Structure 1
């Protein structure tokens, strides 16, 4: 990525599935390194489709997408896995590996990155404690509640300190106190330099992050493509 350049660049992007009408049209925006964005919009507005392009699960039908300074539309598929390892993703449906414990699900990105087993216990243990699942470390996903699975999915997404974090309704299955705790985790990661994009319907959640910016999708188009709408700092007293 060139010095001073955007981490993510969308220019004139459109997306359609098969012969149907576009679900996203004329999407253009830049995300700067270290920024924090909320993506909002009604159900069906195209939020999940936009996130899929951000985490490289979907290529656009038209337009230009650059990530870390490189054109992803023209990039050979064999190079995509290396880019994906620089992105943390929190999926709406969690996508935990059912035969791995909570501990091993969280440790997976570090193992893929080549971190030795002797160096895993500390950060994984700290993450389990942070999300309140220290006593459930050996539990398998089918035995966890929806909220517990969500917390494991978030911990897995952030543990390797990705350059870009993409989260789709990350607090939808947890209580308000845990939602604030998880948001604090995203904020701490952002302060370390990670660019964060969170799709959410929760306006209260949006108001908690100082200097966060918002993009809103309406019927497949961005109503605030520059992210100029800022929320005032939250009262953290």
Structure 2
């Protein structure tokens, strides 16, 4: 497999306006660790949505696990999504479920026996510092606690790809370091990690991590130059490339 994720000339347009993202072409290696950076409004969250199949591109090809997911039948998409863990910026916890049951949800969906999920869920809650909050519902948790439940839920099933949108935004520096250590440990087991962040200080904490930077809807290298130049526009002359 050339890469567990491949974007080829991907563009995204909402409505009839200009493209939010343009000419994205990149490949993520199996077992790689990537930080996605860029200013607010650059398109980081939109890119992540396409990566975890919540948004279809307007053009271009996206391949996950070696398969074209843009052309895949809709019935196949849930199978791809089950291989991807997501930490949403707005958490998306199920309000009527306890912290334990929110974290256990991916295992139950995967058919894990109730007797076999108790220990790993409790261990995961302990790892994120919420062992004593297992029975609490989201409304009674602080923003930082909700974030940690969301992270525990995303990683409990050891996904092949983990996508995290600002996962350390609502926790203190000590917990942020602990969560990064959790991501690093998961990465060591083979999971490809993609973390969108505004905090450039996180980059120095994972030595093996690579950086993807977006500015004005395009990938750039750290110096600010276009990483992938736009394709020539032949449409005015009616000439096909």
What is the 5 A alignment of 1:27-106? 27-106=24-103
| Cα displacement (A) at 1:10 | 0.2
1:226 and 1:217 map into 2 onto residues whose CA distance is 9
Please, what is the CA RMSD of the aligned residues?
Answer: 1.1
**1:91-126 Cα distance to aligned partner (Å, 9 max, x none):** 000000000000000000000001000001110010
**Cα contact 1:29–1:226 (8 A) shared by 2:** no
TM-score, normalisation: structure 2: 0.91
| Cα displacement (A) at 1:73 | 1.0
2:7 and 2:85 map into 1 onto residues whose CA distance is 19
1:167 aligned to 2:158? no
Q: Which residue of 1 aligns with 2:8?
A: 11
| Cα displacement (A) at 1:226 | 6.9
Aligned equivalent of 1:192, options 181, 189, 192: 189
**1:56-91 Cα distance to aligned partner (Å, 9 max, x none):** 000100011000000011111110000000000000
What is the 5 A alignment of 1:194-209? 194-209=191-206
1:107 aligned to 2:104? yes
- Consecutive unaligned residues of structure 1, counting only runs of 5 or more, are 228-237
- Consecutive unaligned residues of structure 2, counting only runs of 5 or more, are 229-241
Query: Which of 1 and 2 has greater Rg?
Result: 2
1:223 and 1:138 map into 2 onto residues whose CA distance is 45
Q: Which residue of 1 aligns with 2:233?
A: none
TM-score, normalisation: structure 1: 0.93
1:131 aligned to 2:136? no
1:140 and 1:226 map into 2 onto residues whose CA distance is 44
**Cα contact 1:13–1:64 (8 A) shared by 2:** yes
